[in-house]
Amino acid sequence: MTESATLPIEQRTRAGLLFYGIMNTYSKQPLSITDQISLLKSRGLTFADEKAAEKVLGEVSYFRIAAYLRPMEADKQSHQFKRGATFENAVALYEFDNDLRHLLFSAIQRIEVALRSKIIQHFSMQHSAFWFLEMSLHESEHRFLENLTSLDREVVRSKEDFIKDHFYKYDKPEFPPAWKTLELVSLGTLSKLYYNFADNQVKKRIAREFNLPQHEVLESWMRSLSALRNYCAHHSRLWNRMLTSPPQLSVNLRGNWIANRQVDANKLYAVLCCIVYWLDSMQYGNDFKLQFKTILKKYPSIDTAAMGFPQGWENEAVWT
C-alpha cells in the first residue's frame, strides 16, 4: 500500500498530497479491448461470449463496467475473482442499473416540476413576485447571497425564449419574477431556496400538499432527491452505492408508509420509499411501483439487499 493510501480521505486531494509532499506517478498504460479481456481472464473472470464482450467494452468503458465487477472480486488488492464470476453477470447488473436510472430520472422529474410549481405559487402569492430578492424573507444572509449568485448564473447563461423576451421588454428589477427565474434553477438550488426561506407557515403548506406533516421533512427529502438526481444525470452507479444526504425516515406520516424504519438511510431503498410516498401523494405511485417491480423481475439475480432492501419490503404498506 502506498503512503498516500493511508492518509485520511480529506488529505488525498491533489492539493493535500502536494502539501504533504506525497505524490506518486501514475504509470499504467492504456489497454486494447482484447488486452482488457485477457487481463480479466487472467484474474479468473469467465466469458460466455468474448465477441459480445468486445462489443460491450467498445460501447461502455472498462472503468464503468469495473464498478459492477468489483462485488465479484475475492481479493480487492490483486483483483482476483471469486469462483464462478462471469462478465455477463456484471453486464446484467449494469443493464439493471441503467433501467433503474431511467425510471428514477422520470419519477424525479415529475416530483421536481411539482415542487417548482408549488414553491413559485405559494411563496409568490404570499410574498410578491420577487420574494427571492428580499433578504428579510430569508434565514441566513450567507445562504441568501449564495443562492442569489446561483440564480444570477442561471439567468445570465439562459437561452430560453421567455428570458430573452423578458429582458427585451424590461430592465428592472435585475431578475425576472419568480415564475420565470425559478424555472431555470436546478433542483439543488430550489431545495436551498426552500430551506433558507423564513416563512415556515408557507413552507408547511407546501409540505402538506405532499401529505407530509412538517417542512423539515420536505427539506430533508428534497436534499436526498437532489443528490439522487445528480447520480442519475451523470449515469452513475446506483446499485450498492452509499448515498449522500440521507432522508428523514423516523416520522409519522398520514399516508401509507414503512413500518420497518431500522434501515440504512444512506442506501437507495430509503430514498425509493420517499419517492413512492411522494408519488402516492400525487396519485402516480402505483404506476411507479409496477414499473420498479417489473425491472426486478427482468433481472432476478439482482441482490436487492445491496441497495438496502430489508426482508419483506414488498409487504410494506407504501409498496403495496
What integer best gives the mean pLDDT of the chain? 93
What integer pLDDT is reported at residue 67 of this predicted model? Answer: 92
Determine, yes or no, domain membership for 111: yes
Q: How far apart are CA 280 and CA 113, in angstroms?
A: 16
Query: Quick one: 53 and 193 in the same domain?
Result: no
Query: Quick one: 165 and 220 in the same domain?
Result: yes
Name the residue type at position 59. Answer: E
% of the chain at pLDDT higher than 70:
93
Query: Quick one: 79 and 115 in the same domain?
Result: no
Using DSSP's 3-state secondary structure scheme, residue 138 falls into: strand
What integer pLDDT is reported at residue 270 of this predicted model? Answer: 97
Place of cell 444526504: 245
Q: What is the average pLDDT across 2-13?
A: 55
Query: Quick one: 155 and 101 in the same domain?
Result: yes
Determine, yes or no, domain membership for 300: yes
Query: Quick one: 23 and 164 in the same domain?
Result: no
Q: What is the average pLDDT across 160-181?
A: 96
Query: Quick one: 301 and 223 in the same domain?
Result: yes
What integer pLDDT is reported at residue 132 of this predicted model? Answer: 97
Query: Quick one: 244 and 289 in the same domain?
Result: yes
Burial tier of 90 (Cβ tally within 10 Å: 0-12, 13-18, 19+): buried
pLDDT (tens digit per residue) in 225-262 = 999 999 999 999 999 999 989 999 999 999 999 999 99
- How many domains, in total, are found in the chain? 3
What integer pLDDT is reported at residue 9 of this predicted model? Answer: 52
Residues 6+ away with beta carbon under 8 Å from 262: 310
Determine, yes or no, domain membership for 35: no
Peptide bond before residue 213 is cis, with ω within 30 degrees of 0: no
Predicted confidence (pLDDT) at residue 16 exceeds the cutoff of 90: no
Query: Quick one: 220 and 249 in the same domain?
Result: yes
Instruction: Name the band, by pLDDT with cuts 50, 70 and 90, for residue 28.
Output: confident
Q: What is the average pLDDT across 289-312?
A: 96
Predicted confidence (pLDDT) at residue 34 exceeds the cutoff of 90: yes
Predicted confidence (pLDDT) at residue 177 exceeds the cutoff of 60: yes
Q: What string of DSSP letters covers 254-266?
A: SSS--S---S-TT
Query: Quick one: 7 and 58 in the same domain?
Result: no
Residues 6+ away with beta carbon under 8 Å from 77: none
Determine, yes or no, domain membership for 248: yes
Range of 5's domain?
Answer: 1-30
Query: Quick one: 75 and 127 in the same domain?
Result: no
Query: Quick one: 131 and 205 in the same domain?
Result: yes
What integer pLDDT is reported at residue 26 of this predicted model? Answer: 85
What integer pLDDT is reported at residue 24 of this predicted model? Answer: 80
Determine, yes or no, domain membership for 90: no
The half-sphere exposure of 175 on its side-chain side, counting CA atoms within 13 A, is: 23
Determine, yes or no, domain membership for 132: yes
Query: Quick one: 16 and 131 in the same domain?
Result: no
- Exposed e or buried b per residue across 132-161, where buried means at least 16 C-beta atoms within 10 angstroms of its C-beta: bbeeebbeeeeebeebbebbeebbeebeee
- Which sign, positive or negative, has the C-alpha torsion 234, 70, 96, 247? negative
What integer pLDDT is reported at residue 278 of this predicted model? Answer: 98
Q: Per the structure block, which three cell numbers stand in for 220? A: 430533508
Determine, yes or no, domain membership for 64: yes
Predicted confidence (pLDDT) at residue 116 exceeds the cutoff of 70: yes
Predicted confidence (pLDDT) at residue 15 exceeds the cutoff of 70: no
pLDDT (tens digit per residue) in 74-110 = 998 999 999 999 999 999 999 999 999 999 999 999 9
Q: Per the structure block, which three cell numbers stand in for 28? A: 499504467
Determine, yes or no, domain membership for 155: yes
Q: What is the average pLDDT across 59-81?
A: 93
